Amino acid sequence: MNAPAKRAQFDRSAQHRRSMYAKINIARQQLNLAEDDYRQMLFDATGEVSLKDCNERQLEAMIALLKSKGFQPLPKAGGKSAANHPTARKARALWISLYQLGVVHNPSEKALEAFAKRQLKCDRLVWARQSHGFRLIEALKSMGERAGWTMHDRVRQKPLDPIGLKRSLCNAILAKLKEAEIAPTDWHLGEAAWKLCGIENAKDHGWTASDYEQLADALGAKLRDFGKGQS
């Protein structure tokens, strides 16, 4: 007599991994990450260079890092989708930067939506008129500038490029760390990266905007650890 066939087993762990793989791939597209930047982020978050070598805890760490960079997971069926127009993307990037600087205490999309509603007098950012978006962007920039984040080249009086903007953000966070006596007053960014955050600053190439973004994350975490985010 043939033995009864075994019932197929539902592998929840495998399904969860597939779900996390999908989120990470969506994040790569949403953030428009270059391959080198993505691989560096993966290594920073997990210590691995391939998703298949990561355990679930490491995959969750990678997703958390991607969210800190502005990744917005797709909403569940019936849920409200996050705004993805140019104003929203720029506002989201500024909001995360202000969190790193210690000006914003809640980096969530919900908190950004509440702030945008006050600035634009519109219930949801996804419905906001693009012609009114400058009000939100300028309000966020003003918050950063009041906290010491220089966004313009003082000589040429032009907006900084992405690398310069991120470097300036890191310098503003470092200035706060110095004011709080968490870092010596004579440290430059390279010293703070290595001695305070354990980030190797010697590179074969110049620092990218992604490199400075990683440093801003690390310096901002130090600022929050000591409860010195708000001046």
Q: What is the pLDDT of residue 154?
A: 80
Q: In sequence order, what E strands does the chain have?
A: none
Q: Which residues pair with 159 in a beta bridge?
A: 152
Q: What is the pLDDT of residue 229?
A: 52
Name the DSSP letter for residue 55: -
Residue 10 confidence (pLDDT) above 70: no
Q: What is the pLDDT of residue 177?
A: 96
51-73: per-residue pLDDT in tens? Answer: 888 999 899 999 988 888 878 77
Q: What is the pLDDT of residue 127?
A: 86
Q: What is the pLDDT of residue 11?
A: 54
Q: What is the pLDDT of residue 91?
A: 93
Q: What is the pLDDT of residue 25?
A: 83
138-184: per-residue pLDDT in tens? Answer: 999 999 999 999 999 888 889 999 999 999 999 999 999 999 999 99
Q: In the chain, pLDDT over 70 holds for what percent of residues?
A: 88
Match 């920073």 to its residue by tokens.
Answer: 44
Please give the average per-residue pLDDT across 35-57, as a whole number.
88
User: Is 230 strand, coil or helix?
Assistant: coil
Q: How far is residue 119's CA from residue 104's CA, in Å, rounded to a whole number?
A: 16
Confidence band for 193, pLDDT divided at 50, 70 and 90: very high
Mean pLDDT, the chain, whole residue set: 85
Please give the average per-residue pLDDT across 81-109, as a whole number.
88
Query: Do the beta carbons of residue 134 and residue 128 sit within 8 Å?
Result: no
Q: What is the pLDDT of residue 52?
A: 85
Q: How far is residue 230's CA from residue 114's CA, in Å, rounded to a whole number?
A: 20
Residue 44 confidence (pLDDT) above 50: yes
Residue 8 confidence (pLDDT) above 80: no
Q: What is the pLDDT of residue 209?
A: 87
Q: How far is residue 58's CA from residue 54's CA, in Å, rounded to a whole number?
A: 6
Q: What is the pLDDT of residue 204?
A: 64
Please give the average per-residue pLDDT across 36-54, as a whole number.
88
Q: What is the pLDDT of residue 74?
A: 58
Q: What is the pLDDT of residue 23?
A: 83
pTM over 0.95: no
Q: Which residues pair with 32 in a beta bridge?
A: none
Dihedral in degrees, nearest 10, Cα atoms 221, 223, 227, 231: -140
Q: State the burial class of residue 51 (Cβ atoms within 10 Å of its Cβ: 0-12, 13-18, 19+).
A: middle
Confidence band for 31, pLDDT divided at 50, 70 and 90: confident
Please give the average per-residue pLDDT across 74-94, as a whole number.
74
